[in-house]
Amino acid sequence: MLKKFTVIGTGTGTKAETEKLLSEALGFIRESLGEMKLSVKDTDRAVLMCEETMTTLLKHADFSELSHFVVNIGKVFGDVIVDIKVPGNEFDFYGNAEVEYHADDDDDELSETQAAVQSILLRSFSRYLRYKHYRRFNTVRIKAMLSNYSGLYKILTILFAAVVSGVVLKEFFPENVYMAVNNNIFTPVRTVFMNGLKMCSVPVVLFSIITCLSGMGSTSGLQKSGGRLLKYIVLFQTASTAIAFGSVYLFGTGKGVRLTASSSVEAVQAETLSLTGMLMNLVPENIVRPLLEADMLQIMVIAVIIGISVGVAGAKVLRDVFGELTAVFMRATRIFMLIVPLAIFCSIASMVITTGLETIVSVIGILLTFIFAYVLLNIFMCIAVKLSTGLSPFVMLRKSLPVIITAFSTCSSIAAIPDGMKCCEDMGISRKVYSLSIPLTTSICKAGFPITFAILTLSGANMYGVEMSVSSLISLAFSIIVLTVSTPGLPGAGIISMSALFTQTGCPLEFLGIAISTEALEDLFNTPTTCMGNIACTVIAADGGNMIDREKYNS
């Protein structure tokens, strides 16, 4: 649905005219947002953003050639968008505090204060605003409401467009044409994206693990603060990894199609070592070689050793340095994340061209494996609660329904923390327990993450014909658990972790195109499962310390 409103200006630029135009446009915006069923809070915030934006744009308006400005309201991938277009010359949209009204402003000091406040408001809303100058118009796009499913809609749209493009190219164009498109457009874009991830993966994995472990402090402090929780966190992560491995081998996920790595990214068979050889190879003989060769398992061992050492030594300066380095390389990763939609499109279209629609069937198989694994993990966690506490897991599920709904709708375990604490309160769990356990398990438990990492990695290995020995599977399981704990909750962090696992197993990084598109769908099941794991850990830990009111739990 798109609504358009055009406001005619006289070009005099007086304050009275500005306020009149502003009032008419804001009335239209508020009415349109009401028709789109936005909440009062979202509507008020959007109208405030639109008011400050239009006030700023009208100060720089030039109606000498174009005597109108335009307001468009519509939905894009579920997000409610307001586009405001005002004629005028390009200017620094966010740095406009020095701008004043014209002669109608008698109080210069008041005008400067208003402009300064306006600039602060625009900067505070920068997440929701995007400014550009195009064809004599200063244009600002305002996100009036962010849909929880906008990312999913984008991925589905990209997948559909990529599949259609691949099929059309392959079925209606000569081979030399579609292969030229593949080799000169799809493959180069995909390669640039993969190279960027490879460049960032080693430092991000190294520094994020060190930062995570060094922040835990001394081992005695760790035991005092959360020792009771840790064994259940490890149990759920181990069970999650085992369930994922078993699900892939039960269904043979990924074996229905055999992919071939492109010429620019060659598949490398994972090194086969005996169990003894794997253990001996865990600790490198020097610290530089694993970094140069991107040996992810050894890099993680180095990071674990350094992280624990920094924490025990209490080297706050070093901990801060590693934290800043993590932030720097995550920022570098976000630069390459800007082309994720294009990279997904090119990867999927290229695979349709080179392998046919069998790849899409394989993706459906991966999604079904995910669902099966998440159901098994939830059953396992319920059994663990029953055996460890004697309490009914059905009561836990019923009282955790608000958390499940929030997790499903937002795909964010962090967003579900307040609901998680409220549910623990309703179950009669002591505040001393859940105020520590919910944030802690959200940070390091992530019960559903091993399923994501394991199924995608093993499915990719099956699709590219990478043979996995017993020792390789053991080392992969260790890496998955370490990465689950250490992966920061930042955009792109999960992709970096998957690229590290692909490198370790010898699966070509070009499989990330399928992995990213699949992950966007399975996250609808991953996040609720992860939140249930957080609550299950809390219930078990609280019962072990006699810090749960059983009558209130069962009421």
Report the C-alpha gap between 428 and 369 in whole angstroms: 36
Per the structure, the count of domains in the chain is 2
pLDDT in tens, 335-349: 877 787 888 788 878
| DSSP bridge partners of 74 | 2, 81
246 plus 262 within the same structural domain: yes
Q: How far apart are CA 296 and CA 275, in angstroms?
A: 17
> Do residues 234 and 94 both lie within one domain?
no
Q: Report the mean per-residue pLDDT for the chain.
A: 78
Q: Is 124 in the same domain as 194?
A: no
Residues 208 and 338 both lie in one domain? yes
Asked if 140 and 181 sit in the same domain, the reply is no
Q: What's the CATH code of the domain at 282? A: 1.10.3860
State whether 183 and 139 are in the same domain.
no
Looking at 147, 173, 205, the residue that finishes a domain is: 147
The more confident residue out of 433 and 279 is 433
Q: What is the DSSP letter of 61?
A: B
**pLDDT of 247:** 92
CATH number of the domain bearing residue 112: 3.30.565.10
In this structure, are 158 and 118 located in the same domain? Answer: no
156 and 143 in a common domain: no
- Domain that residue 193 falls in: 152-554
Q: Sorting pLDDT into bands at 50, 70 and 90, what band is 372?
A: very high
Q: What is the DSSP string of 143-199?
A: EEE--TTHHHHHHHHHHHHHHHHHHHHHHHS-HHHHHHHIIIIIHHHHHHHHHHHHH
For 337, phi then psi, to 5°, come to: -70, -15
Is 398 in the same domain as 365? yes
Residues 456, 484 within the same domain: yes
What's the pTM value of the predicted model, to 2 decimals? 0.63
pLDDT digits 0-9 by tens, 252-276: 887 766 666 654 444 444 444 455 6
Given 117, 147, 177, the domain boundary residue is: 147
d(CA 307, CA 125): 37
Instruction: Based on the fold, state whether residues 10 and 132 are members of the same structural domain.
Output: yes
269 phi, psi to nearest 5 deg: -65, 135
Same domain, 508 and 373: yes
Q: How much is the pLDDT for 263?
A: 43
**CA-to-CA distance for 388 and 61, rounded, in angstroms?**
69
Residue at which a domain ends, from 127, 147, 167? 147
